[in-house]
Structure 1
Amino acid sequence: MSEEIAISLHSVSKCYKRYARPMDRLQELLLPHSNKVQEFFALRDINLDIPKGQTVGIIGRNGSGKSTMLQIIAGTLTPTTGEVVVKGRVSALLELGSGFNPEFTGRQNVFFNGRLLGLSQNEIDSKFDDIAGFADIGDFIDQPVKTYSSGMFVRLAFAVAVNVDPEVLIVDEALAVGDIVFQHRCMRRMRALMDSGVTTLFVSHDSGAIKTLCNSAIMIHDGQIYSKGAPNDITITYLKLLTDLELGISATESKQTQQEEKCNKDTTIARRGSGKARIESVKMLNHLGEDAGETPVFGFNEEVTLVVEIKANEKLLSCILGFYICDKNGNEIIGTNTFEENVKIDKLEFRQRVVVNFKFKLPLRPASYSLTVAGAENNEALTFDWVDNAMVFQVLPPKTGKQIYALIDHPINVTICTPCRLGST
């Protein structure tokens, strides 16, 4: 394995044996030729190379094999077949409190886990204050871990994982347990580790976190790598698969359809939905009410109008229509829908069309942005059409020359109050 590759999996599979009755297991031991076992492959023929310093998001449905793959990489699970090579110190947060002895205090578990990760006593001593400060569980650090709440568990476990100088960090859905303040602290810490070159594998159902933190993403389905690529693309692929499965379309058919769309050079958007109604056209108007074209360029904070036309392919009792403005990573910045705006779209007859206008301003950092538009049946909340990347547009810098440091620039009033000098009246 080259120096640039931190994690390599070659033809890795994990098979579990299942028996209908306990007697069948015993019978297999006594009579080897009597085969009553059922084989279940949690992973099948995984081939994957992850470069050093990359942050890779892993998504997939529950039971798809994500956790199994992470446990194999972490070394807590042995593959049935294949080869796994991991270079560097691995720090893994796989399950709530995994690796903790419930009878030990938090302090004792910190030292115990540190030694398991290869740190010396002096190294753990030097890092203990940072670990305790990050966990922020107060006097409970000297109480038995079995008395901890789930939130305290994950605080201490994450604090240990990110403060032992890992070269490979593995986080499996653990951040969903902590409170909001702690989640923000964890995200900042993970960003700092990523910037410092730590190879990170991050499993989460939070697509925003995947798109914000990760350099690339992998989608696991039925124990196999279904797709891999840019985080936003993989998130779209995942959501489309979920919609297709809900509509009774198999994973194989869904993947084939998506591959055909990618091969078609005329296809610039990805869409999914039941098809009961279809988004026929999407356009944006500038502040003068003029069509801005296929690749619009808008001024900073310009007022624009999004015009969306939908056509019913079946009779709909009612529906809602909405949109998102996303940055280049696919993070939603501006968005709403007719339901949230208290605008009702009455029932639509077969082949009936309706046009919806959304008027809003663009107080955005100068950059390129994409537009996602979607419609759903109001009574069933079932998406009839969802169009990702329906349009890409650009926002220009303010004419004032002001620098914008955040994604959104909002008018702010700044005043300075000069205190009176001592002794003056």
Structure 2
Amino acid sequence: MAGNSDPLTPRAKIAVTAGKAVAAASRAAGRGSGSVIGGRVALKLDPDLLARLAQHLDVVLVSATNGKTTTTRLIAEALGAAGPVVSNALGANMPAGITSALAGGSEARYAVIEVDEKYLAGVARDTDPKCIALLNLSRDQLDRAAETRMLAENWREGLAGSKAVVVANADDPLVVWAASSSANVIWVAAGQMWKDDAWSCPSCGGVMQRPGDDWFCGDCGFRRPSPSWALSGDHVLDPHGSAWPIHLQLPGRANKANAASSAAVAAVFGVPPQVALERMYQVQAVAGRYDVVQFMQRDLRLLLAKNPAGWLETFSLIDPPPTPVILSVNARGADGTDTSWLWDVDYTRLTGHPIFVIGDRKLDLAVRLEVANQSFQVCESVDQAVQMAPPGRIEVIANYTAFQDLRRRVGN
């Protein structure tokens, strides 16, 4: 524990202090939380700082294409039953942001850390985690993210030899391939709605067979492992076969799946499913996602969807037609500048909804909706879209920087 002995060298202490000062200056200048720039400065001064800060903590790493931020929040809430937790709750998930988060948690016992998929192997090396949760892998940020099978390979190599307990989704073949190099894996049947990145076998390249919820490769025999935890409707089934009810304020099946994985992680640290799931009920919104805000006398629900898998999940939880929907897509650095992924999203699921299109790449999205035979209106701003929308609550779906823009505009 932090109180027993101070793990930080004088150099590390200077690095932490400098990082906090830079972060505070960045916040004062109105440039965001400052966690990334603060972490960068601290790591420059002490390249081993992340490892030093993690020394006295029981670390959980969470990585995936979708659901990282929410699952990190749910696990942090659950582990709070066992002791103080530090977490990168705002989603700064590369080494600089993670270093910043840990620097602020000197009294913590546990660290629950969301990690960008590309950085998982390196962060795992530095932080010596007790547990790693792997949820899914699908295409994302096409201009710079490695192809999903390469990412799975990277995870597989990075996790080989790790002492961590790996909690992994048995329904995603890429995740199973990645986790199979680990000595200690707990499999969770969390489901996989988006299957378009998992038709070829990650082991041999053969065609994946998918009867019902099962999957296997007819060529090499690589197959779905038997899960010890499972999401079943509104319950989590634990390894003893007991069913624990999931009560969340967060909507949708994907969040129930996140809760199932989170309960399995909490159990690794001795927190029983009932306690873990009860604590998860406290989470109402995650970094603005799922928040309902009042704007121009209307209720807007803010939903984040960054890639085809995320849009598919989001469509499953919006209110039925004729609920108006505002869609906003940007293609800035943090989003990935290639918007060709829009063609992988099934926009026919929005049939019957009045649709309003905004964002930097509204015309890219308009062409896609035109081809999907949807009726829509292109607007200059969220203000104009809200003015034109018919009565009732409005669902607003945006990708990463578009979501941040919306939060700033609607005062969330």
- TM-score exceeds 0.5: no
TM-score, normalization by structure 2? 0.25
TM-score, normalization by structure 1? 0.24
- Larger helix share, 1 or 2: 2
Rg (Cα) greater in structure: 1
- Larger strand share, 1 or 2: 1
